[in-house]
Amino acid sequence: FLAYQAKDITADGHVNPHSMCTVKYLPAWYQCLKGDPIKGAHMVYDLQAPSHPRPGHPGTVRSLDAGYCFAAGHCNNTRVTANTTLQEAEAMCNDIYGSDWKGLNFNHVTGRKTDEVGHRNAFAQLACAMGNWHCDVVYCREFYCEDTYWVKKFGYKAVYGAEPPLEDQV
């Protein structure tokens, strides 16, 4: 596994959807890559079932996802649509991150936070390398970007220089 983790995902400098073959999200990403990102988003959301024992709690994984969505700029993204192709997404990754996402491997995200703001977000860059970046954008918009709970909790991350809300405001 460690050898796989250290191997560059984008050996030829282009997205590599084959890097997803060992993860539980493969069926969802497949739906997205074959042209149905909304169905894929719903499949991912179901996989991210709340992992907290308290009924009604949003769950740790979904909270991480929501923070990522706002911080990575996915909630501000108006270019990605349900019809965005892998090639169009790669071009968008180049526009946003330059070549920073090329040559990444899983070790690049070890110890990094999913909610690093903007172009520094290593998980968004990794999504570019893996070919699921546009799938992430659709997933975010489908479940987090307009949800008042998540907007109140993480919406500030989508605004440069904004401060987090006070705990009693969330």
Model pLDDT for residues 111-159, shown as the tens digit of each residue: 777 777 777 788 899 899 888 999 999 999 999 999 999 999 999 888 7
pTM value? 0.80
What six digits make up the tokens of 114?
């999913």
Q: What are phi and psi of 24, to 5 degrees?
A: -70, -15
Q: What average pLDDT score do residues 89-109 get?
A: 86
Model pLDDT for residues 51-97, shown as the tens digit of each residue: 555 555 556 788 889 999 999 999 999 999 999 999 999 999 999 99
Give whole-number Cα distances, 86 to 6, 28, 61, 82, 127, in Å: 24, 15, 26, 11, 12
Nearest to 80 by CA among 145, 5, 30: 145
